[in-house]
Structure 1
Amino acid sequence: MTVHHMSCEMLQHSAADQPSDATTNAVLELLEKHRWSTKLAIVLAALASSYGKYWLIAQLCLTNPLAFSLAAIKGMSDSTKFTIMLNHRSKALRYLLEKMVSVTKCVMEFEILPLQYVTLDYDAMAMMKTQIHIASYWVIRSSVACASQITSMIASRFERAKAMPAAWELWSLVQKITYIYAGLSTKFDAFNQQIESKVYLRLLNLFEEVHVDNHDVLYTLFALKDDFPLRDSFSQKKVGVDVLKNKVVIIFISRMDEYPEKLLLIIQQSRNKSLTTSEEPYEIVWLPINFSAEVGERTHNQIADMIPWYSISEPSKVSPSVMKFIQQVWHFKGDPMMVVLDSYGKVLSLDAFDMIAIWGPKAYPFTISRERELWEEQSWTMNLLLDDIDPLLSYWMEDGKIICLFGSNDLGWVRELTKRMKDISEAGIRVELIYVGSKNFEQTRNILTRVMDEELSNYLSHININIFWLRLDSMQSSRLRLGYAIESDSITREINSLLTYDSVSTGWLLVSEGTSTEIFKLVGNEVLEYLSHFQLWGERVRKQGFLNALRKSLDPSSTTEPCDYSIITPFSESSDGVAVCKKCKSLMERHVMYQCGAC
């Protein structure tokens, strides 16, 4: 049964001057195979189609030749009179349509209630279903009455003596539908409150139970009101929670009314990294926490199209009890969080956002023990800071170039720094200077524009600058949560210092060479001062290396005593022959030692 077919049937029966009851019964027979919410949706769509079509023709026929011809074909001999008659009844029609839509929404919402969570007695359920049948009947009968009035106006059978009764018929139906809706909505609210209370209690117990798989947990979280709650980012089709069965599931929970910088960070990390296995043993599901009419379906769809994971296709269908559980038990406060569930639905981590932001899939299985293990393996290096944010930077590090990251919101300082660095580069030193901005995105945007326009240095894109600083935030949050104190831990202290420098206008510079495990830091005017003395210490770069030559220019006393450090390393053809002294940090000379094999 199509909407057009139903529209024609309603107008045909109305034109035959059949009683409203007979026409209503005929419509019900045509729709007998559909459930009640579908019946109402088809009838209302048919009425809206008929009403809107004739109203549009009547409005345009005096100025549009096509509309004039259509008016003649449809028997609207006096379009002006038709418009006047519609205006007389427009207020009653508007109120009636609004109430009919409200009843229809209530019926639809009742039909998708997860009634399996509530034990209801037979009489209560029978009474509710009876009320739904009665409400549906009167919505259809009211639609028939509206269609009948449209056909009478088209045929120009409008008489002044009959105008008032016709309008009163509509107002009486408004009162009838309003009364029905009040009773139906009260009963629905009572049912819904019982169900939501049961769902919340079920959630509290669900994560304490042992399950054979994760189906029950995922179904309760996502699928109580929708059998196909997920949207597949690749096929763009709706799918059920079975696609996540026996997999680790990461629920990415975030607000929709803020620009999704952190969402972009996780997208970047998930795209840039891959596990050694051909199929990742986990899936990510995006759950927007505050979907509303104000934010809009369009915004939701735009973000869902952007992410490479599953997402909740209709967030409004997620149970309010699930949202309450996320806020009260999982402690969602507004910042994005990533809850990790194992293949049995057990919570592995209440928030793995930081470790995923830092390491991506390498943090699998995203437990706190794995997070601590990764930090114990980590040093304060350029690899940690940049982490494939830009593939070109990774290539430069592998190529052994000197990488200099800098940030400042002082354009004069930036220009002076880039001038001195160009002098060093022209001296034959393979150095790459990269602007990474600051967390103050507005000021960064202005400086970045000047850096680009004046070709002052290399730079990260605006998105990658955001990612750089968000990862630093995650590093600080992760280490502090694990108990690494700023006072006693060098990595935490260095992270904190960068974030502190960002809060002031002072510029800073980080220097590292190739894949070295050492980073050298300069701040403010001392950066410009020591780089301006390059002619004095630059001649030592070839022997000592750029970092060590720069360091010794800051601390000349470190060169007064000769260093006697040595190390014996087995020969390897793949070795590049470069080693840094652990004592004085200079480049070490290479000597070959032979040992008799008979010893």
Structure 2
Amino acid sequence: MASNNTPVSAQQPTMRRVLKMSEDEIKKQIRSTHNQTKQKLDFDPFYLFDVVKNILNPSIIVVDNIVQGKAKDMEKGNQGESSPKACFIPPCMLKRLSYEMACKVPGEEIAYETTISILRNVLSSYPWHVKAVLTLASFALDYGEFSHLADQIDSSDQLTKSLGILKQVPIVLGRQGVEKYKNSFGKLNTLIKLTLDVVECVVELEKRIDGNNTKDVPELSLAIENMSIDVFWTIITVVDCMSRICALINDKNNTQELLPFTGKITSILKSLTDQIAVCDRQIAEIKAYLKFKRDLESLQDIVEFFKKLIFVEESHNLQQATISNNELSKKTEGLRKKKVLLFFSDFDISEKVVSILKPICEEESRKDQYEIVWIPIVKNWTDIVQSKCKVNEKYFWYVVRQFSSVLGIKYVKEQWGFKDKPIVVVLSSEAKVEHKDAFHMIQTWGIEAYPFTFERERELRNREDWFGSTIDFIPDVLTWMKEEKYIFLYGGEETWIKKFEDEATKVTNDPDISSEEISIKLFNVGKTCKAKDYLGIFLKNLNKLFFSKSQKETELDTKTKEIQMLLSYMNDGEGWVVLCKGHKLVFSGNGTKVVMALKSINDGKQGLHKSTEIQVLLKQRYNEIILPVTCCKFTANTNSGWVHGDCAKCPECSQIMEMIINFKCCHKGHPTKAVP
């Protein structure tokens, strides 16, 4: 075998440079060695690792006993994890790997070059955990044989003695060699044991990766990301150990100090051990949650469902969640055989939210048919939080105080989409979900939304008077709609508004209109109001209705088209117009074309005496005008259904961010027509 004549001091500068390489530098180097096309394995790497442990664990004990002068450990053969399988055939590249590592001059630079060569030329197409197992298995062949011969150094068996002489075992671990190389072999054995433990951690993490989803066990994502760098340090350490054994065998007069891989491997072992502990905790949590979810959804009684959700007992070392509220526990019996509306929110409910739910809470005619339960979801139940909650408790007969069940809150967030914004989950008396969030439905239609189901919402959305619910927050408009008047709602730039109001006023003042006792009102939605942002609220209502329909309907109906077109007109900037009769939308259009259409009506004076044809005539004149306008394009805001979990939170303040989605048709420009 080759001898090492390089002074240790000459190696130190290189040693310091390589060990101080950043992870990014190392990843960049080893990324090019890895072939993404997975090699089809003709062996079981997990079983191969069991065989490696069966070799290295007793080998380490043998060498330790010899170095420390202890008697032979007759039980060393039982240290392995499993018995060899007759059908197991070690892969042929173990010999090739052994050849790659054999007789190398000790030194970090050589170890680094050898490691890169092994990764590129021998193991490139294997998964990272398999690279580590194969390299350690190759080392185990040589070290296992060496330690086995050392254990039989005093044997009378001529074959064993002769093999030991060829391997120079008596020189290194004979009586004289032990004293000379005691310190070096002690450090080497420690490093081999640490490396074996690191590979075991890598194998254990891979087993968890194979059996779990990284979405459920986030720590596995970090393990996958770091596995290549951990395996790199494992292989370079194995290469270094092999070169040290060769050096100890050949260098009779110079004991070799080990390179400082021990510190690196120790650090990696601690990191991997911590990762496994976190993964196991997360796996226990997801198993507990899935069991909780399965048990909860199997219940067919609202009281049992409610108790399971709120008063759940949790285990697996998860956060304990108990609610000492005997009064509420007794009152839950009052929920039996009733529809239950679970109102989830933050602890601080605005007056606006209270005003939306108050009519539902105070509705006497259906009080025996449903109940509302307020369940504040709060991270930390401080005294201040509890005092603020008590202020709002007067509005609700049922209130859950200090709801802190880890599994219950997780279920509410994942299954019902709670994201700090108020939601109302509707459950039947048989504990079946009838609506995952009826809050907007109640906000829009009030008690008319009863029984608060998906089916009832579909009915309300598809009614002819759906538009009225988006604009009836304006007192004047609400009054006019109740009186079944025609109403022009509009907004845009000041210059355009003046033109529109001039033409629209001429129409409203036309003698034929007056003689038919037709009343047409004008309302500038975009006009500034000190009390309320009318345009902002109107847009918000349109957005909610659009997303509500788009997430529940698969086909584009006329009402959804109307909403899309109106949002697109409002996006144009110059101007937009809506004509409604009572609560019904009868026309909407682009501001420029509407002004031209009204001017055409005023100039022609045709058909205004027929009240039923006002919107018909406006549509007719509107569609006669050909203008090159852009196709449908609008921006919509939403806070639900598109981005989940922490991805929707602001990285600075952790509040849920408003999502803005742009819709833009791919066509360039063409004439637009009013939706028929």
Is this a same-fold pair by TM over 0.5? no
Bin the TM-score by the shorter chain: 0.3 to 0.5
The TM-score, its normalising length taken from structure 2, stands at 0.40
Q: Which has the higher Rg, Structure 1 or Structure 2? A: 2
